Amino acid sequence: MFEMTVKVQVGNIEEGVKWYSAVLNKAPDRIPHPGSAEWQPFKGCWLQMAEGKEESKGLLIRIGVHDIEAERDRLRSALQDETIEVSIKKFVPVKWIDLTDPWGNTIGFYEYLDKEYENQ
């Protein structure tokens, strides 16, 4: 594991970018795809903002890993759950796994498709 991303949902991307830019005192560090913006408040930590409806009632935390398939295999063994799968979506620069804990929080793991991002 080498970094962590915390995700927040907003109803309007433009208003969200304006608000979070004011709070963090800087523009987004990157716009990975439409409807999303990311800030790196400090090395190894990303705040990801996405437009849309709330995905869960709790918090979403994702942790960067170098090999998502190996992480999937580890999680399947640790949680005794063979249904855990890796997700990938067009225009999204990562592949990921999301798990919901018994309290409604989501924890996930991701791997960059472009390995150059791992060094930022």
pLDDT exceeds cutoff 90 at 119: no
CB 43 within 8 A of CB 90: no
Q: How far is CA 38 from CA 46, 50, 78, 87, 119, in A?
A: 7, 9, 31, 20, 16
pLDDT bracket for residue 59 (50, 70, 90): confident
- Phi and psi at 16, nearest 5°, equal -65, -45
- What does the pLDDT average to over 83-108? 89
Give the amino acid at 32.
P
| DSSP letter for each residue of 75-88 | HHHHHT-TT---EE
| pLDDT for the residue numbered 26 | 93
pLDDT surpasses 70 at 58: no
Check residue 82 and give its pLDDT. 96
The confidence score (pLDDT) of residue 120 equals 67
> What pLDDT, in 10s, does the model give residues 2-55?
899 998 888 889 988 998 899 888 999 999 999 999 999 888 999 998 888 755
19, containing H or E segment: helix 13-24
Mean pLDDT computed over every residue of the chain = 88
